[in-house]
Amino acid sequence: MITASQMRAARALLGIDQRQLAEMSGLSVPTIQRMEASEDRVRGVIDTLTKIVDAFDAAGIELIGENAASSGAGRGVRYKLAKGSGGK
């Protein structure tokens, strides 16, 4: 669903720290720290993972899955296109 690297990259795009992500997602700072310390894919309760994904989504960050359409290969993050922007 999401990797530790994606979490760190998404936070960097937003310019926020772990405390701010915890506030945005309704999770604790130790939970965020544990998730970001994962080797690859973040493991956790589905509800917790969903809160992280939803927080990034609400902040305008799109998480790119392993096989999602992208100009490169692998996972990543990017800003979501604003609705009605037509990509510009």
CB of 57 closer than 8 Å to CB of 77: no
Give this prediction's pTM: 0.76
3-state secondary structure of 34: helix
Identify the residue whose tokens are 């990259």: 9
CB of 75 closer than 8 Å to CB of 64: yes
Residue 85 belongs to some domain of the structure: no
CATH of the domain at 21: 1.10.260.40
Q: What pLDDT does residue 66 have?
A: 66
Q: What pLDDT does residue 81 have?
A: 65
Task: Give the number of domains in the chain.
Answer: 1
Residue 54 φ then ψ, to 5°: -65, -40
Q: Which domain holds residue 14?
A: 4-79
Per-residue pLDDT tens listing for the chain (88 residues) = 788 999 999 999 999 999 999 999 999 999 999 999 988 888 888 999 999 999 999 999 888 776 555 555 555 676 676 665 554 4
